[in-house]
C-alpha cells in the first residue's frame, strides 16, 4: 500500500456495532475476563490493553499510522512534541553520555539540552547547520546520540541526512531526527539511516491548530526502551487527541501538497522584493542547501522565511500591518501565521546569540496556510508596503 492509503486505511478492529469510522475509547483502563488473561497481559504475553498510560486503541491507531508512514518498526505517542523529544533523551541517555546536536534547534529542545540534561550528567555539544564538515570531528568516544531537526525552526536550514546516517552508522551512534517541519509525506529520515524519528503532531499532523501531541517512531529495541520509560513516567497521549490526530493523518498528504504549493508560489513571488534582503525556502534555487533539500525532500514544506531590510522595527511594523494572517505561536495550520522570532520566541537571547543561530533582527517566519494563495500574498504585500 502507498503511504497515503496507509494513512487512511490503517484502522483498529471494528467493534460489534460495525462502525465505519473509529470510535473514541475514552477509558482509563481495560477489563479482563479472568485472572489468567490479566496475568498474561501484565507479563507481556498478550497485546491486550491494560491502562491508558501504557496503551489505548485510539493511541495505537495513531501510532500504527505514523510507524507505517515513516517506515519504522515501532512507536510510542506522547502528549506533546516536547514529551517525545524528552522521552527519547531520558530513555536512551545516561550519566556520562554525550549528545551531539545542532545549534539551530527548536527553542524548547535547546532548553532541555542546555538546562536539564546536564543535571543528569549528560554532556552535549553543537555543530552549526552551515558547517556540515564539522560533524565527524565533534563526535566523542562517549557520543551516544546525534539529534537534529531538518529543515530547522525558524531558520529553514537543511541538514544532509544521508551524510549523518552514514556517520552515525560508522561510529555506532543513534541518529534521532525531528521530522516536524517536513512531515513523513515530505521526507522519510529512516530511509537515510535514522534510527529514531520524533514529531510534534501539534503542527502539520493535526494541521488545524486543535490539539497537542507527539510521537517517536523507529527501531524496535530503541522504541521498547522508550516505551518502558514513558509507561512508567506518564507522558501518554490522550485518547481524544489521538482520535483527532489519526483522523488528521487521513488528509495530511493532500494538505501538505497544497501547503507546499502555496509556499513555493509565495517564496517565488517575494524573492527580489525591494523591502527584503533575502527570502528562504528549501525549494528555491537560491537556498544555501538547495541541492540537499531536493535530494531528501519531496517538497519544500509549508514554511517561508524572509528578512526585512529595516530590521527589528520593520519586523514589528510588518506584524502590526497584517490584516488576515494570524499572530500566534503555532505553525502548521490551515490559517496562515506570521511570527517575528527576534521580538518574541527568541527575544531573551542576546543579539549575538540570535545571530549565531541565524535569527536576524528582521526575520519573519510565515506558516503558509490553505487560504487561496492570492489572498495570503495580498496580505503579505500590503503589510510589506507599510513596513
Ligand atoms: C513545536 C515543535 C516542537 C515541540 O512540539 P510541541 O508539540 O509544541 O511540544 C518540537 N520540534 C519542532 C521542530 C517544533 O516546531
Question: How large is the average pLDDT for residues 194-220?
Answer: 98
Ligand 1 centroid, distance to 244 Cα (angstroms): 18
CB distance 206 to ligand 1 below 6 Å: no
Which residues contact residue 122 at a Cβ distance below 8 angstroms, ignoring those fewer than 6 apart? 89, 93, 94, 95, 96, 97, 98, 99
Among 80, 89, 202, 210, say which to mutate for ligand 1: greatest number of ligand atoms within 8 Å of CB: 202
Residue with cell 492570492: 374
C-alpha separations of 293 from 144, 248, 287, 304 in Å: 27, 26, 9, 14
Q: Which atom of ligand 1 is nearest to the CA of 83?
A: 9
> What mean pLDDT do residues 354-375 have?
93
Residues in the chain: 387
pLDDT tens per residue, range 255-278: 999 999 999 999 999 999 999 999
82 lines ligand 1 (CB under 6 A): yes
List the end-to-end C-alpha distance of the chain, in Å, as a whole number: 49
Q: How many helices (H) and strands (E) does the chain have?
A: 13, 12
Residue limits of CATH 3.90.1150.10 in the chain? 252-385
Question: Which pLDDT score is estimated for 353?
Answer: 79
Q: Is 300 in the pocket of ligand 1 (CB under 6 A)?
A: no
Whose CA is closest to 197, among 212, 175, 181, 213?
Answer: 175
Centre of ligand 1 to C-alpha 273, Å, is: 31
Separation of CA 109 and ligand 1 centre (Å): 8
Q: What would the mean pLDDT of 204-212 be, rounded to a whole number?
A: 97
> Rounded mean pLDDT of 47-64?
97
Q: Is 153 in the pocket of ligand 1 (CB under 6 A)?
A: yes
Q: Confidence class of residue 195 from pLDDT cuts 50, 70 and 90?
A: very high
On whether the CB atoms of residues 113 and 99 are closer than 8 A, the answer is yes
Ligand 1 geometric centre to CA of 50 (Å): 29
- State in Å: Cα 15 to ligand 1 middle: 34
In words, the CATH class of domain 252-385 is alpha beta
Q: How confident is the model at residue 13 (pLDDT cuts 50, 70, 90)?
A: very high
In this structure, the number of other CB atoms found within 10 A of the CB of residue 356 comes to 14
Q: Is the CB of 60 under 6 A from ligand 1?
A: no
Q: Exposed, middle or buried by CB within 10 Å (0-12, 13-18, 19+), for 347? A: exposed
Q: What is the pLDDT of residue 196?
A: 98
Q: What is the pLDDT of residue 354?
A: 84
At residue 385 the predicted structure's pLDDT band, cuts being 50, 70 and 90, is: very high
pLDDT level of residue 356 (50, 70, 90 thresholds): confident
Span 201-211, average pLDDT: 98
Closest C-alpha to ligand 1, atom 8:
81
Band of pLDDT at residue 244, cut at 50, 70 and 90: very high
Chain-centroid distance, C-alpha 292: 19
Residue with CA at minimum distance from ligand 1 atom 6: 81
Question: pLDDT-derived band of residue 344, with 50, 70 and 90 as boundaries?
Answer: confident
Cα 181 to middle of ligand 1, angstroms? 9
The pTM (predicted TM-score) of the whole model is: 0.96
pLDDT tens for each residue of 219-241: 999 999 999 999 999 999 999 99
| pLDDT over threshold 90, residue 31 | yes
CATH 3.40.640.10 domain span(s) along the chain: 3-249
Residue 286: per-residue pLDDT: 98
Q: What is the pLDDT of residue 358?
A: 80
**pLDDT confidence band for 152 (50 / 70 / 90):** very high
**Is 81's C-beta closer than 6 angstroms to any atom of ligand 1?**
yes
High-pLDDT (> 90) share of the chain, %: 93
Q: Whose CA is nearest to atom 2 of ligand 1?
A: 200
For residue 180 and ligand 1, the question of a CB distance below 6 A is answered with: yes
Cα distance between residue 301 and residue 139, in whole Å: 30
C-alpha pair distances (Å), 84 with each of 121, 177, 202, 244, 301: 20, 11, 12, 18, 22
- Give the pLDDT band (50/70/90) at residue 146: very high
Ligand 1 atom having least distance to the Cα of 180: 13
Does the structure show a pLDDT above 80 at 348? no
Distance of alpha carbon 239 from alpha carbon 8, whole angstroms = 18
Q: How far apart are CA 76 and CA 237, in angstroms?
A: 9
CATH class of the domain at 3-249: alpha beta
Per-residue pLDDT of 103-138, as tens digits, reads 999 989 999 999 999 999 999 999 999 999 999 999
56-114 per-position pLDDT tens digit: 999 999 999 999 999 999 999 999 999 999 999 999 999 999 999 999 999 899 999 99
Measured in Å, residue 51 CA sits from the centre of ligand 1 at 27
Distance 36 CA to ligand 1 centre (A): 42
Mutate to test the pocket of ligand 1, among 85, 108, 330 (most ligand atoms within 8 A of CB): 108
Q: Is 214 in the pocket of ligand 1 (CB under 6 A)?
A: yes
| pLDDT value for 154 | 87
Amino acid at each position: 500500500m502507498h503511504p497515503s492509503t496507509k494513512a487512511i486505511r490503517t484502522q483498529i478492529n471494528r467493534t460489534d456495532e460495525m462502525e465505519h469510522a473509529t470510535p473514541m475509547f475514552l477509558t482509563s483502563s481495560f477489563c479482563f475476563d479472568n485472572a489468567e488473561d490479566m496475568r498474561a497481559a501484565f507479563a507481556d504475553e498478550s497485546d491486550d490493553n491494560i491502562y491508558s498510560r501504557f496503551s489505548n486503541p485510539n493511541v495505537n491507531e495513531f501510532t500504527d499510522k505514523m510507524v507505517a508512514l515513516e517506515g519504522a518498526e515501532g512507536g510510542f505517542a506522547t502528549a506533546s512534541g516536547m514529551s517525545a523529544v524528552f522521552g527519547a533523551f531520558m530513555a536512551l541517555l545516561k550519566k556520562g553520555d554525550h549528545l551531539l546536536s545542532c545549534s539551530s534547534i527548536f527553542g524548547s529542545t535547546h532548553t532541555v539540552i542546555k538546562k536539564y540534561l546536564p543535571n543528569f550528567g549528560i554532556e552535549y555539544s553543537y555543530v552549526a547547520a552551515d558547517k556540515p564538515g564539522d560533524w565527524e570531528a565533534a563526535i566523542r568516544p562517549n557520543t551516544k546520540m546525534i539529534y537534529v531537526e531538518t529543515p530547522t525552526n525558524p531558520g529553514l536550514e537543511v541538514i544532509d541526512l544521508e551524510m549523518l546516517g552514514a556517520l552515525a552508522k560508522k561510529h555506532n551512534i543513534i541518529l534521532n531526527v525531528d521530522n516536524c517541519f517536513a512531515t513523513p509525506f515530505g521526507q522519510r529520515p529512516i530511509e537515510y539511516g535514522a534510527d529514531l524519528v520524533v514529531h510534534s503532531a501539534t503542527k502539520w499532523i493535526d494541521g488545524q491548530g486543535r490539539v497537542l501531541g507527539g510521537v517517536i517512531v523507529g527501531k524496535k529495541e530503541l522504541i521498547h526502551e522508550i516505551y518502558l520509560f514513558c509507561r512508567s513516567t506518564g507522558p501518554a497521549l490522550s485518547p481524544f487527541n489521538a482520535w483527532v490526530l489519526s483522523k488528521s493523518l487521513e488528509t495530511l498528504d493532500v494538505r501538505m501538497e497544497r501547503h507546499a504549493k502555496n509556499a513555493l508560489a509565495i517564496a517565488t513571488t517575494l524573492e527580489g522584493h525591494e523591502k527584503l534582503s533575502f527570502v528562504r525556502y528549501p525549494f528555491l534555487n537560491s537556498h544555501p542547501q538547495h541541492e540537499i533539500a531536493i535530494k531528501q525532500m519531496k517538497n519544500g514544506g509549508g514554511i517561508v522565511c524572509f528578512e526585512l531590510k529595516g530590521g527589528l522595527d520593520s519586523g514589528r511594523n510588518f506584524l502590526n500591518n497584517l490584516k488576515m494572517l494570524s499572530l500566534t505561536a503555532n505553525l502548521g495550520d490551515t490559517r496562515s501565521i506570521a511570527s517575528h522570532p527576534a521580538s518574541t520566541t527568541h527575544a531573551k537571547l542576546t543579539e549575538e546569540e540570535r545571530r549565531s543561530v541565524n535569527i536576524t533582527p528582521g526575520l519573519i517566519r510565515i506558516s503558509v496556510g490553505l487560504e487561496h494563495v492570492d489572498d495570503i500574498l495580498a496580505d503579505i504585500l500590503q503589510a510589506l508596503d507599510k513596513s
